Structure 1
Amino acid sequence: MIKNFRRCAALLAFILWFNGLMAQNPLIQNQFSADPSARVFNGKVYLYPSHDIPVTPGHGKPGWFCMQDYHVFSSPNLTDWTDHGVIVSQTTVPWADSTAYSMWAPDCIERNGKYYFYFPATAKSGTNKGFSVGVAIADKPYGPFVPQPLPIAGIHGIDPNVQIDKDGQAYIYWAQGNLYGAKLKANMTELDSEPVKLEGFPDKGLKEGPYLFERKGIYYMTYPHVANKTERLEYAMSASPLGPFKYAGVLMDESASGCWTNHQSIIKFKDQWYLFYHNDDLSPSFDKNRSVRADSLFFNEDGTIRKVIPTLRGVGVTASSAKIQVDRFSATSADGVAVTFLDTLNKFKGWKTTFSKAMAWVKYNSVFFVKKTAGTVYVNACSATGGTLLISTDSTNDKPGKVIAKLIIPKGNDWHIVTKSGLSLPAGIKNLTIQSEGDALVNVDWISFK
């Protein structure tokens, strides 16, 4: 039975290695994604982001956001993600302008076995001006979703968020310059109270993207806020779903890359809290094409939230037999290490790590090895001069541990998969360090173990 489990684990890891959707930031690397709403349904995490696409002639406004549909992704472990495809499009919503390309931040929630997907869109000419919020309903979290014929009456704004309180009352929140909220009827498609402006937030600067969650009787309202020039994530706390709220602090600072927007959701999954957000990783020169990220989130004893520091490594455990993208490192020596795109004309191909000094290193945490007596390492690398890489397990914060492989990278300008067999591989979850032994320039795309 154990042998069969190991075979299944190895086969699953190979499939994921081939498909390339892995738990490294950004989570989705084959398309642009933003405004992630993460939900836990039936023991899996479902991710409902918006979908940025490049503007083309006649499709979208140059220099602005261009968004025509929504995908949904799922994961049993925050590591292996499945794209279930398009669930709602601007061409399938009866009341929406099918030429607006403005399907912004969505949300989804389950009630009584039905899944309700909420999304903002620009209404057709002659109806409500500006943004309305619509609902699409499905029997499964990945659809098929059926858009309702009309948007929710009484809501004019963007970035819907829905929560169901412990007593069963549902609430919907949205943004329109300020943050607003209202009760929802049990049918989840109509307001059950007049909208109220939520209080307790900074008066100056754009506020949008409300996302509420509850923990230990405290209601946390999180939101992006332009306190200076770009958005940072902040939060406020209350004893009631509709406030009043009290400003509590910064959840995440402004993006170091200068990405103008951010947008968040927060979930608890398998006893750990996570923050989902976005940045411009795959489009650093144009921040209207964004990419979803995730990092762990922690609370202080008084219930306040510790500020989340963005990482490249992200969350989850990576199978040793997957393509381990070492450019998404957990830590680095900094000096002698650089990360650049493999192909500047197609950034979806990802990044490479360049080692340029002796003993320069990167560390990649949480790699799972299936126990075996011997194995092979594969390294996709390139070195114009030739060089040597050391791969070791790492049990301390900044020093490599036991060397498990030494690889000679041949001289040449082409990429090669360099292998070394007969290795004594570790078992369990380990941290890896990849280190350059000399001063030669060595480029690494990924490493893998079989």
Structure 2
Amino acid sequence: MTQTVKTWLIPALVLLGLQPARAQNPLITNQFTADPTARVFGDRVYVYPSHDIRATPGHGRAGWFVMEDYHAFSSANLTDWTDHGVIVTQNKVPWVKPDSYAMWAPDCVLRNGKYYFYFPATPQDTTGGRGFRIGVAVADKPTGPFVPQPQPIADVRGIDPNVFMDKDGRAYLYWSQGNIYGAKLKPNMLELAEAPKTLGELPTKRLKEGPYVFERKGIYYLTYPHVANKTERLEYATSTSPLGPFTVRGVIMDESPTGCWTNHQSIITFKNQWYLFYHSNDLSPKFDKNRSIRLDSLSFSPDGSIRKVTPTLRGVGLTDARQKIQLDRYSRLSTQGAAIAFLDTANTFGGWKTVFGTGGWVQYNGVSFGAQKPKAVVLRGASATGATLQIRLDNATGPVVAEVTLPKGGAWQDVKMPVTAFRPGTHALYVAPKFGAAVEVDWVRFE
């Protein structure tokens, strides 16, 4: 697959029951997703998030996390994502209470040609104690079908399973329940090979959970969300051994600027670049139990420390100029005269719009035009008074690609105008209304 989903592939995916999606941040906009574990299998990135849904009478606890199943998503370029559908659901796992709605953060790893999907859930049998257990489902492909094991992993109670595969072939399971625990797994990936160890070198005050371990240049990084103040921030510790002792090093991502109480992370390297997957409450700003997964680049200092990641809306990857370019997922936005709002507050899955006024502008980086000049630009917008928008390459002084005039009236409409200037390659788009006119923009696309 190239930088975009080919036109012939989209109907083929639909016929197979797979849903193609193009995204910046959040990655998935047609459903709620949280707790993303990303894995590289072959030449694709697979993401296994939990799946937040809204509580309804008899289905989950109102005002709390409600999750009944898991989807798998994949991408070859971190821009075009395919939803492979439900891979595990609560009422088809033998040991899970079928109406518990507690399918929390999962993980998935490959070993000896089999894919092992680890997930926490509430058990039907509570004779051994209340609380979460961790189960495993096994498949021959990263998207399933996954077959759940009849029983959860013995001697493990908690949430947020994470499996780390070391270079020597040994596998380790990590999980949380007040503390963060770790233990070596047997080669069958279904049983512990030793008694769990408490990783006690981590912060002892307030909640910590969601372990995710990776290795780089002989350093083992244990990452985890921790409530140091009011909400979770992402922190990390390092060691020379998978099970420690660990030394707390610092913060990967600060507390959410939107007040989302939780965060949950995974870190991968793909095509020689490191990435941080995490979540926020983009599609549910007033209820942070419905979350959405995100992705931003991550880097290291020469001493191996992780540089702090600032969340972005633009995310990563290139956007094909011939796709719909969602300017509201901007790289830069003027401090006055421009704002982002939902297209429909009653249906946030419909996405956002950019609202321009006097002095407003938006810049969207990473648009790939290729070598061939497009003939036209199409802009979907609306203006009660009528407005003309200038589309420039790169910045405020770049060449004007096109001017698009929207007639007055306030109705959404698609306006096509010829492209007047062009430079091959990858550029930023800089869009601003002439004369400070009030105008709203949904998307821009070249053809």
Paired residues of 2:327 and 2:364 also in contact (CA < 8 A): yes
Residue 193 of structure 2 corresponds to which residue in structure 1? 192
Tell me the distance in 1 between the aligned counterparts of 2:327 and 2:397: 15
Which residue type is aligned with residue 65 of structure 1?
A: F
TM-fit CA distance, 1:247: 0.4
Tell me the distance in 2 between the aligned counterparts of 1:110 and 1:82: 20
Cα distance, 1:347–1:374 mapped onto 2, change above 3 Å: closer
Residue 11 of structure 1 corresponds to which residue in structure 2? 7
Cα distance, 1:287–1:140 mapped onto 2, change above 3 Å: same
What does the per-residue CA deviation read over 1:108-133, in whole Å, with 9 as the maximum and x for residues that have no partner? 00001100000000000444421000
TM-score, structure 2 as length reference = 0.95
Cα distance, 1:307–1:385 mapped onto 2, change above 3 Å: same
Paired residues of 1:361 and 1:434 also in contact (CA < 8 A): yes
Residue 436 of structure 2 corresponds to which residue in structure 1? 439
TM-fit CA distance, 1:371: 2.3
TM-fit CA distance, 1:417: 0.3
List structure 1 runs of 4+ shifted beyond 4 angstroms.
Answer: 12-16
Q: Show the 5 A alignment for 1:39-438.
A: 39-128=39-128, 129-358=130-359, 360-394=360-394, 399-438=396-435
Cα distance, 1:170–1:9 mapped onto 2, change above 3 Å: closer
Question: What runs of 5+ residues in structure 2 fail to find an aligned partner?
Answer: none
What does the per-residue CA deviation read over 1:281-315, in whole Å, with 9 as the maximum and x for residues that have no partner? 00000000000000000100000000000000011
Paired residues of 1:133 and 1:156 also in contact (CA < 8 A): yes
- Of 413-422 and 152-161, the range deviating more from structure 2: 413-422
Cα distance, 1:181–1:10 mapped onto 2, change above 3 Å: closer
* SS of equivalent to 1:31: coil
Paired residues of 2:400 and 2:421 also in contact (CA < 8 A): no
TM-fit CA distance, 1:369: 1.0
TM-fit CA distance, 1:431: 1.1
Cα distance, 1:434–1:26 mapped onto 2, change above 3 Å: same
Tell me the distance in 2 between the aligned counterparts of 1:108 and 1:400: 48
* SS of equivalent to 2:444: strand
Cα distance, 1:383–1:15 mapped onto 2, change above 3 Å: farther
Cα distance, 1:447–1:14 mapped onto 2, change above 3 Å: farther
Cα distance, 1:230–1:166 mapped onto 2, change above 3 Å: same
Cα distance, 1:412–1:163 mapped onto 2, change above 3 Å: same
Paired residues of 1:375 and 1:425 also in contact (CA < 8 A): no
Tell me the distance in 1 between the aligned counterparts of 2:282 and 2:102: 21
What does the per-residue CA deviation read over 1:14-61, in whole Å, with 9 as the maximum and x for residues that have no partner? 879x97722310000000000000000011000000000000000000
Paired residues of 1:263 and 1:278 also in contact (CA < 8 A): yes
TM-fit CA distance, 1:275: 0.2
Which residue type is aligned with residue 390 of structure 2?
A: L
Which residue type is aligned with residue 309 of structure 1?
A: T
Tell me the distance in 1 between the aligned counterparts of 2:420 and 2:94: 60
Cα distance, 1:10–1:257 mapped onto 2, change above 3 Å: same
Tell me the distance in 2 between the aligned counterparts of 1:373 and 1:38: 36
What does the per-residue CA deviation read over 1:355-407, in whole Å, with 9 as the maximum and x for residues that have no partner? 0113x21111111113224411010000001111111110x6xx441111111
Paired residues of 2:402 and 2:419 also in contact (CA < 8 A): no
Tell me the distance in 1 between the aligned counterparts of 2:403 and 2:146: 52
Cα distance, 1:94–1:70 mapped onto 2, change above 3 Å: same
Paired residues of 2:342 and 2:352 also in contact (CA < 8 A): yes
Paired residues of 1:330 and 1:365 also in contact (CA < 8 A): yes
Tell me the distance in 2 between the aligned counterparts of 1:21 and 1:422: 27
Identical positions, percent: 60
* SS of equivalent to 2:7: helix
Which residue type is aligned with residue 255 of structure 1?
A: S
Tell me the distance in 2 between the aligned counterparts of 1:327 and 1:45: 25
Which residue type is aligned with residue 48 of structure 2?
A: Y
Paired residues of 1:199 and 1:243 also in contact (CA < 8 A): no
TM-fit CA distance, 1:229: 1.1
Tell me the distance in 1 between the aligned counterparts of 2:346 and 2:253: 31
Paired residues of 2:20 and 2:83 also in contact (CA < 8 A): no
TM-fit CA distance, 1:10: 6.6
RMSD of aligned residue pairs (Cα, Å): 1.8
Cα distance, 1:189–1:13 mapped onto 2, change above 3 Å: closer
Paired residues of 1:236 and 1:249 also in contact (CA < 8 A): yes
Tell me the distance in 1 between the aligned counterparts of 2:23 and 2:272: 18
Cα distance, 1:400–1:123 mapped onto 2, change above 3 Å: farther
Tell me the distance in 1 between the aligned counterparts of 2:423 and 2:138: 47
* SS of equivalent to 2:22: coil
Paired residues of 1:48 and 1:107 also in contact (CA < 8 A): yes
Tell me the distance in 1 between the aligned counterparts of 2:375 and 2:178: 58
* SS of equivalent to 1:91: helix
Tell me the distance in 1 between the aligned counterparts of 2:374 and 2:166: 53
Tell me the distance in 2 between the aligned counterparts of 1:51 and 1:9: 24
Cα distance, 1:150–1:127 mapped onto 2, change above 3 Å: farther
What does the per-residue CA deviation read over 1:152-194, in whole Å, with 9 as the maximum and x for residues that have no partner? 0010000000011111110000000010000000000000010
Paired residues of 1:375 and 1:424 also in contact (CA < 8 A): no
Tell me the distance in 2 between the aligned counterparts of 1:145 and 1:81: 20
Paired residues of 1:90 and 1:96 also in contact (CA < 8 A): yes
Which residue type is aligned with residue 288 of structure 2?
A: D
Tell me the distance in 2 between the aligned counterparts of 1:70 and 1:355: 39
